[in-house]
Structure 1
């Protein structure tokens, strides 16, 4: 015997059965309704409403990530693998993304000349995380330093508040590290990296510097902190793909 649906309480059963559920219909005003169909319709409406909310939230996450327009569709599947170096870089970022989705927190460093696919892979990582409900943010070190400096002249923002904002993301992708102006701007970028370390938030650092140059620029204290909890390091030592390089 079918269990009585809560939608049928107080309603008069009629001598008519639902073809789908073989359940006695009930009278609801001038209509005869199947209680089970009513439940399923209600659940479908709730599912559609939740799906729409999820879509809106996901779109806001993507917009807030500030990914470069050129890499709006960059993913792991459309990364062009031509040699073992490409494959290793791809494997490393895919593993990093999976670990983050599973709650593991570590940093990622990718260095190498321009045009080696570093930004593509970083944006693919961000898009993967965003699709899983994580917050990611892409920014160059120059833009980050400038944004912090802009707060000095704004009445509703401070250097500290802007740095705090950069600690809110599950993953911060800091691209073109080393291209910012020296000294003061570098100090501001380092403040963000220290702040994310303190809050145990992963950072993906991308640079055209060599690994040795990067370590020197970060300094021993920051480089040491960057390695705590695990550090994935990828050196993209091949030619500029934009001009046809494959080696």
Structure 2
């Protein structure tokens, strides 16, 4: 039984007809209404309500991603490519393809290396924003911030969070974007960052790792065991080996 039949079943038909739908109106209290108009209004209200829910969910996803404020509007379309720089076009293309694969459920990793000012964070945020708009959960964080978050759990005022629970939290995102890898203090902090990377590998979750290291130095810093795991489910490597674009803009 459709919605119009339900309305007709519960109300008495009148002699008045709807000029739009050419059907008899029904008596609803002191009002005469067209069943078809009523259904259209209900469906419109439901669509508006769902749109509002979708908007709220989207805002929650974006808020939880903790994207850098400076890159709030960074996307693939406004990533500026120098016509003479084939590397930039290739970097964007690789990140676009990687984003599509993650959206399709592929669990591979991506490493993006290059000196400062080459647009690595812009491309990373473009990846995040695209996936967030598709309803996926993404988290952006720097390596230093990640290590500090875990170390904060050692304090007495950590509100019940443990090192294990924080590491577990960072395994739940569909994609973790770990920026500025290698700029944190060494030894203990590096070990904590590696714990998260191992945990995400064990959970079958993809990670985007961004660093100013060269690929050779990054591979050495990760170590043989973690480097092997990072490649296991597939690895995209993006090398941004051009000059600092921020300096160029100022000049």
With the length of structure 1 as denominator, give the TM-score of the two structures. Answer: 0.96
CA distance in structure 1 between the aligned counterparts of 2:17 and 2:219, rounded to whole angstroms: 75
Alignment CA distance shift 1:3-1:106 (3 Å): closer
2:3/2:39 contact within 8 Å kept? no
In structure 1, the residue corresponding to 2:176 is in which secondary structure?
strand
Q: Is 1:179 paired with 2:183?
A: yes
Q: Is 1:224 paired with 2:228?
A: yes
Deviation at 1:3, TM superposition (A): 9.0
CA distance in structure 2 between the aligned counterparts of 1:116 and 1:229, rounded to whole angstroms: 27
For residue 137 of structure 1, the aligned residue among 117, 136, 139 is 139
Q: Is 1:196 paired with 2:205?
A: no
1:194/1:222 contact within 8 Å kept? yes
Match for residue 48 of structure 2?
48
Deviation at 1:155, TM superposition (A): 4.6
CA distance in structure 1 between the aligned counterparts of 2:144 and 2:3, rounded to whole angstroms: 65
For residue 95 of structure 2, the aligned residue among 93, 96, 99 is 93
Match for residue 207 of structure 1?
211
- Point out the more displaced range, 35-44 or 140-149: 35-44
2:4/2:39 contact within 8 Å kept? no
Match for residue 66 of structure 2?
66
In structure 2, the residue corresponding to 1:78 is in which secondary structure?
coil
CA distance in structure 2 between the aligned counterparts of 1:170 and 1:94, rounded to whole angstroms: 16
CA distance in structure 2 between the aligned counterparts of 1:85 and 1:46, rounded to whole angstroms: 48
In structure 1, the residue corresponding to 2:10 is in which secondary structure?
coil
CA distance in structure 2 between the aligned counterparts of 1:20 and 1:79, rounded to whole angstroms: 50
Match for residue 241 of structure 1?
245
Deviation at 1:98, TM superposition (A): 1.0
Deviation at 1:118, TM superposition (A): 0.1
Deviation at 1:10, TM superposition (A): 2.5
Extract unaligned runs of 5+ from structure 1: none
Please give the root-mean-square deviation of Cα atoms over the aligned residues, in Å.
1.3
CA distance in structure 2 between the aligned counterparts of 1:190 and 1:4, rounded to whole angstroms: 60
2:24/2:34 contact within 8 Å kept? yes
Match for residue 9 of structure 2?
9
Q: Per-residue displacement from partner, 1:11-36 (whole Å, max 9, x unpaired)?
A: 11112222222221111112111111
CA distance in structure 1 between the aligned counterparts of 2:109 and 2:151, rounded to whole angstroms: 26
- Point out the more displaced range, 151-160 or 132-141: 151-160
